[in-house]
Amino acid sequence: MPIFDARDMIAFPNGDNTTDTVIGGIHFNTTVLDFFNFTLYDNGTLSNDSRCILTFEPYTPHLLFPNGSFVNNTSCYSAINPIGSRGIVGIIVACLFGLSLITVLVNLTKHGRRHLPAEKRFYPIGRRWQWYWAIFVCAAAIIGLFTGIDVDRFYLPELPLVLNVFFWFLMQMGTMALVWEAVRHWGSWMERQYIDPNPFVLQQTDKRGMFEFWLPLFFYLWLWLNFFLIVPRNWGNIELQRSPEQTLEFAIPTATDNRFKAAAFCLLICWLTTAVSLWHSIRHYEARNRGFFNRMVGGLGYMPFRFALIMPLGLSVVAYQALSAWKFDYSPLKVGTNLVAMYIGGYLPSFLIIVIQVVSGFLRQNEDLNLIRQRRMRGQELDQELGIAKKPAWWRRANGDVSTGNMRDVIMRNVREVGGGRATHANIEAAAETRAREANDAANATNANGGIEMSELGRTNSAASSVRTTGSRPPAYTRYGGKSEARRTEHAVQTVAGLLFPNATPPNQPATQPATQRGRDTAMSEDRPTNDRSQSTASGTSMTAPPMQIRSMLDV
């Protein structure tokens, strides 16, 4: 790669003899210079296409060795010039981007914090992407602007120019992604508010949902095409601006080639995709107006005001990138470019977009908190429709409800109000008394009805309501008045067992009975009326016997 054009070469000045030359007041051997292919150029540099040194004062080398090395030489690619206008303005703009980066981080903390459980349909990272891209834009701008300081300070253009324009293109990409994520997330937020009262009002597999699924992929496809058309290339020709002839032959054709122009077209497709996303959100999640003019006015009124600002600014980003691809004089790839066009068209739109986003983020509420507020308002409206008036918080405190909110305290207070105790003592005795009282009431009702059929259908769970042919009715319940806690508990358990299982053999009686007792029971069973339930499945007396009187559900 040539460092200078051949037309910039000059002959070595004459010295004391034919093998001597004087450069910057220092004598050098022309034989050694010719052997190592060193050439003197009119801009005061000495180069052999692999090395380049400065020859003017105070950077002139002091001595040349026969092996081609110099003493106290200075490379041509050194920052020897003072900071120029490009660097001074770049420092100011970089400081502004640094301050905006702090505010972006504050907004990321505010709007990225989660106050509700994460939903599968709306991930928290969705509302953070716009702030992530804002951080990317600020970082790319700061790095590019600080590396641009050496563009003017380097005696010959080299790596600082490439780094400056490289991060500038990354900043352009991040700016378009920032605008896209701001618009896309606003549509997602509208959808979340729309379906919050009724999650089934919109499906994810319908035409609208599939359009929202494929649209981000379409946008990032064109954004990455912009990246691959710009970044993977040979940037060495951009550095070849060391003479007007070299700039015209190498730098301008590279900076205005078809790849840069196609990259600007891809960025335009990204902006149009963002506009379509904005139109789609207004169409599906806002009220519809009739007529083209009414729809246009209504759409501008429904969308946030910040979109009316950042969308034209995003289009200006595309316009300046296209302008730099066609006009090299206004491109940041030129060393001595038009600084007004560079900073106003190249950096100001990105900075204003971030400022608008930051101001809007400070004015807006966290989305989870906003959704909680909307749910509370809907609950109050429903209470008003149903006529429910909730008492204020001081009402409970005025009526003695001073609970601290501890669930254990609330449960203990409820237990004290109901009346708790040991399940084997107080509750069993209370249940036994209740069952004995029901049994006595059932027996009195039976005697009063005189055996009328279907006189009582209620279940009493007593021995009188389910008399078995082989069972015996337990004795009437009497409360034990002794002092032994164990005997009183045992007596209560036996009483309840007798009520629940009347056919069971009492614990104090043997399991087998004498023959005389069995005969007496058989005779009693023969004289018993047939309206009692039998253990046999055969019913031979159903036609001649009176109807069976049901006293309990156990007899059915």
| Domains in the chain: ranges and CATH | 6-71 (no CATH), 85-378 (1.20.1070), 423-443+458-503+552-556 (no CATH)
Q: Residue 170's pLDDT is what?
A: 95
Task: Give percent of the chain with pLDDT exceeding 90.
Answer: 32
Q: Residue 106's pLDDT is what?
A: 95
CA distance 327 to 409: 78
- Between 233 and 511, the higher pLDDT residue: 233
CA distance 149 to 164: 9
Task: Give percent of the chain with pLDDT exceeding 70.
Answer: 74
Q: Of the spans 289-293, 438-442, 476-480, which averages the highest pLDDT?
A: 438-442
Report yes or no: 261 and 326 within 8 Å, Cβ to Cβ: yes
- Token pair listed for 400: 């003695």
- Between 137 and 543, the higher pLDDT residue: 137
- Closest by CA to 437, choosing from 499, 507, 481, is 499
- Decide if pLDDT at 67 tops 80: yes
User: 70: helix, coil or strand?
Assistant: strand
Model confidence band, residue 328 (pLDDT cutoffs 50, 70, 90): very high
- Decide if pLDDT at 520 tops 60: no
CA distances from 156 to 3, 43, 56, 79, 189 (A): 9, 10, 14, 9, 52
- Decide if pLDDT at 456 tops 90: no
CA distances from 92 to 137, 192, 197, 391 (A): 16, 41, 49, 59
- Between 265 and 477, the higher pLDDT residue: 265
DSSP for 311-347, please give it.
Answer: HHHHHHHHHHHHHHHH-GGGSTTSTT--HHHHHHHHT
CA distance 172 to 189: 26
Strand 26-29 and strand 63-64: the pairing is unpaired
> Residue 502 has what DSSP assignment?
T
Tokens 């508990």 belong to 489
Query: How does the average pLDDT of the chain come out, rounded?
Result: 79
Mean pLDDT in residue range 190-202: 84
Least confident of 260-269, 437-446, 518-527: 518-527
> Residue 22 has what DSSP assignment?
E
CA distances from 474 to 97, 431, 535 (A): 94, 16, 20
Report yes or no: 155 and 54 within 8 Å, Cβ to Cβ: yes
Mean pLDDT in residue range 314-321: 95
- Decide if pLDDT at 117 tops 90: no
Neighbours of 485 (CB within 10 A): 9
- pTM for the whole thing? 0.68
Model confidence band, residue 532 (pLDDT cutoffs 50, 70, 90): very low
> Residue 257 has what DSSP assignment?
S
Mean pLDDT in residue range 66-80: 86
Q: Residue 448's pLDDT is what?
A: 59
CA distance 317 to 351: 11
- Decide if pLDDT at 295 tops 50: yes
23-30: which pairs have CB atoms within 8 A and are 24 or more residues apart? 23/55, 23/60, 24/55, 24/56, 24/57, 24/60, 25/57, 25/60, 26/60, 26/61, 26/62, 26/63, 28/64, 29/64, 29/66
190-217 CB burial, b ≥16 within 10 A, e <16: bbbeebeeeeeeeeeeeebeeebeebee
Model confidence band, residue 56 (pLDDT cutoffs 50, 70, 90): confident
- Between 76 and 411, the higher pLDDT residue: 76
Mean pLDDT in residue range 489-500: 76
Mean pLDDT in residue range 450-467: 43
Contacts of 174 (CB under 8 A, 6+ apart): 133, 136, 137, 140, 350
Q: Residue 199's pLDDT is what?
A: 81
Tokens 């279940």 belong to 459
Model confidence band, residue 546 (pLDDT cutoffs 50, 70, 90): low
CA distance 43 to 45: 6
- Decide if pLDDT at 318 tops 80: yes
CA distance 226 to 273: 14
Q: Residue 487's pLDDT is what?
A: 72
CA distances from 262 to 94, 349, 526 (A): 29, 21, 111
